[in-house]
Amino acid sequence: MSVDLQSLLNHFEPISLDAADKARLMNRVDSKFVVSVDKLEEIMEETWSDYQVLSIEGERNLPYRTRYLDTPDFAMFNAHVNGKLNRYKIRFREYPLTGMRFLESKFKMNRNRTIKKRISRQEHIPEENEVEEQFVMQQTPYNREDLETKLYNRFKRVSLVHRTVNERITIDTDIFFSTDKENWQALGDLAVIELKQEQFSRHVGFTRILRRHGIRPIGFSKYCIGVSMLYPDRKINRMKQKIRLLNKLTRHSS
């Protein structure tokens, strides 16, 4: 990665976690974009005046850890890659810098909205417990006892919050996947940008910047990409095409 991301982030005014949480947007419209990391510098130079960056203990490029659950036959993965709306993801999300951990559900509605729910969890709590079982049953059509760990994911995330518009941007880099937390496979020198808005608009904020650079939204799921990379029998044609596109972006950045 040739871009000095930390130097770029130093140009932004910081925002605290409490203040940033006001723009968390648990009920939102998501748009995702994938670019080479080399493209980030010219994109981010246009955002300094309009956005603040989440800063925790002086860090602005924050580590994240995710563990995805699915049924033995990958029902949630299959629903996503087959384009089914009203679909779910269930995952554990850890923020190593703060020690916070959550069990989360994401529901993609047929109106293209995403609703995220989550509950806090403590490290010492048993893997399957009544609170988490109830959460999964209430928020999804699945039973916790029928789910198993399919994928581990770690990455770095920058979170930008617009000063005046209820809009939040996350930029993920250094993305790795594993099935056992020991052997990790890198996605490459790519950045996954996610735009989170109450209502989608291509005429305000970050969308306009990306359009000026010829960058258009792309359907992207870290879970589905990771499964396709690490489970050869799950690499269906639609995902093969997406992985080829990602490989092309990676080659162009090298």
**pLDDT tens-digit series, residues 10-41:** 999 999 998 888 766 666 688 899 998 888 88
pLDDT at 205 over 90: no
8-state DSSP, 29 = E
CATH number assigned to the domain comprising residue 64: 2.40.320.10
pLDDT at 228 over 70: yes
When mean pLDDT is compared over 67-71, 161-165, 211-215, 243-247, the highest value belongs to 67-71
Rounded (10°) CA dihedral 173, 110, 107, 190: -10
CA distance 226 to 89: 14
| Residue 240: pLDDT band with limits 50, 70, 90 | confident
What residue numbers bound the domain in which 235 lies? 5-253
| Residue 87: pLDDT band with limits 50, 70, 90 | very high
**Is the pTM above the cut of 0.85?**
yes
Counted domains in the chain? 1
| Helix (H) or strand (E) run with residue 178 in it | strand 167-178
Pick from 165, 171, 157: which is nearest to 198 by CA?
A: 165
pLDDT tens by residue, 96-131: 999 999 999 999 987 678 899 999 987 777 777 899
Asked if residue 75 lies in contact with residue 90, where contact means CB atoms within 8 angstroms, the answer is: no
pLDDT of residue 241: 75
Chain-wide mean pLDDT for the chain?
Answer: 88
Rounded (10°) CA dihedral 228, 233, 235, 237: -170
pLDDT at 1 over 60: no
